[in-house]
Structure 1
Amino acid sequence: MRKLYFTLCLSAVALLFSCGNEKQPEAPTPAEKPEQEERVDTLAMLVMQVQKCSRLYTTEYRVHKIVTHDDQLALKGKLFSKDYNINLPLGKRKVAIPIDATMKAYIDFADFSAANVRRTPTHIELILPDPHIVLTSSRINHDDVKEYVALMRRDFSDEELASYELQGREAIIKDIAKSNIIEQARIGATNALVPMLRQLGFDEPNIIISFRKNFTPQEVEQLVDASTLEKKNGGANRR
């Protein structure tokens, strides 16, 4: 029997980045170039400046989770056509593993293009690339791991503890997917991009920063970089 109990401590941190702080060349006046050509030049300048943001980390979540597991040694079988399941005395063992993890959301602007921009003479909307979520760190506080092993049972092996730790990380990802990490990622990107768009002459009330869609919790799980989960699965070495 396995149980996962969750103690979640979230602190969303908006990380502000400065994207392209260098002085921008002055846009040509209508007297110098036709209005349509001026718009094209401004759009190209906008795309170039946004691409300079590269990988923009916007949100950080810190999670504390306690993973528990318990099992009972039992005799199971059939006698006189009746099933039996008898728990053996001194056959129980339990473990509680505290895990602290940090997850970050970022937006990669490497492929940002004019297709991500919708604009009118007065308004502009930037459709952000899909965000990515990475498990940047996770650790077990070995001093706080609690084990109970009855006399008839063997101790938990390193492989078993590593398996429970991996289950904890997977549970953290599922719980993060139900949080507002995607909305926080959009807000963080807005705080970084709006000042740049104001420098290009757009009024803040006329600026819209959005994602291409609203993500469900199941879709958010797919945005997590799975390789980070594998890299962190280095085993639960015992002390």
Structure 2
Amino acid sequence: MKILNYIIIYIFITGTLIPIACSDKKDDGKSTHVSETDTLPMLIMQIQKCSRLYTTEYNIHKIITHDDVIRMQGKVLNKDFNIKLPVGDRKIAIPMTATLKAYIDFSDFSDKNVERDGKNITIILPDPQIVMTSSRINQKEIKEYVSITRSYFTDAEITEFEKQGKEAIIARINDTNIIETARDNAARVLIPMIEQMGYDEKNITIKFRKDIKKLNVNVEK
């Protein structure tokens, strides 16, 4: 006798920009024009002040469906059989919401991340990082069907389903555009900051590493 568990996860994603200013603006609102010798150290110091620059927040809504069916499996006369036992079914649908945030860590930002050629300046962004800041189950909207011959799902089982849901979100993070959104939003924050150092927007380039194959997602406790 074998218990077969089926879990289907439906994911819906919404993304929002987290507006963050991480540069000090002068009271007169004028751009600061300094010599090339002084500009680079000042620019690096201003960017380092950003530390963790959170640029993107994704709210992921998903429904975990679990179908618990008891079947008898085996082989008789070299023929496989798989029979559903008439002991009743258990089914549950669990709505869950998780929040993912993407940020750029500028704590190790240095002159290695900057390329300058006369009036042109290129910033090489560190790789975006992702953290799951929260997750919750909507307890009021859980739908459960349990035959009279079966027991209801326990809190421990539901907690395990939530864990599996988190793992499913993390496994599919590469299917989203969260990295591209994080990079675009970081550029929107950095370009005005660099302009304050005396550079023209047309001379500013933000570069990214293109060979990110797997994203690591940290989960806040």
User: Structure 2 stretches of 5 or more lacking a match?
Assistant: none
Q: Does residue 1:18 correspond to 2:22, yes or no?
A: yes
2:39 aligned partner, one-letter code:
T
Shift of 1:125: 0.8
Question: How many pairs were matched up?
Answer: 214
Q: Judging changes above 3 Å, is the alpha-carbon distance between structure 1 residues 26 and 75 closer, same or farther for their aligned structure 2 residues?
A: closer
Normalization by structure 2: what TM-score? 0.87
Q: Percent of aligned pairs with the same residue?
A: 49
Contact 1:60 1:102 in 2 (8 A): yes
2:205 equivalent to 1:204: no
State the shift of 1:196 in Å: 1.2
Of residues 38, 58, 64, the one that matches 1:67 is: 64
Distance 2:200 2:78 in 1: 81
Check conservation: 1:20, 1:53, Cα contact below 8 A.
no
> CA offset at residue 201 of structure 1?
1.3
Question: Which whole-Å CA distance do the structure 2 matches of 1:175 and 1:83 have between them?
Answer: 35
Q: CA–CA distance in 2 between the matches of 1:197 and 1:77?
A: 69
Q: Report the CA distance shift for 1:160/1:189 in structure 2 as closer, same or farther (over 3 A).
A: same
Instruction: After TM superposition, give the deviation of residue 158 of structure 1 in Å.
Output: 2.2
Note if contact 1:14-1:184 (Cα within 8 Å) is conserved in structure 2.
no
Query: Does residue 135 of structure 2 align to residue 157 of structure 1?
Result: no
Which position in structure 2 is the counterpart of 1:96? 93
Q: Distance in 1 between matches of 2:173 and 2:185?
A: 17
Q: Note the C-alpha offset of 1:157.
A: 2.2
* Higher strand fraction (1 or 2): 2
Q: 1:180 to 1:122 in 2, by over 3 A?
A: same
Question: What residue is the counterpart of 2:176 in the other structure?
Answer: 179
- Give me the TM-score of the superposition, normalised by structure 1: 0.81
CA RMSD in angstroms, aligned pairs only: 2.1
More off after superposition, 152-161 vs 164-173:
152-161
* Shift of residue 120, structure 1, vs aligned partner: 0.6
Instruction: List runs of 5+ in structure 1 lacking aligned partners.
Output: 28-37, 232-239
Letter in 1 for 2:190: L
Q: In structure 2, how many angstroms separate the alpha carbons of the residues matched to 1:214 and 1:207?
A: 22
Higher helix proportion, which one? 1
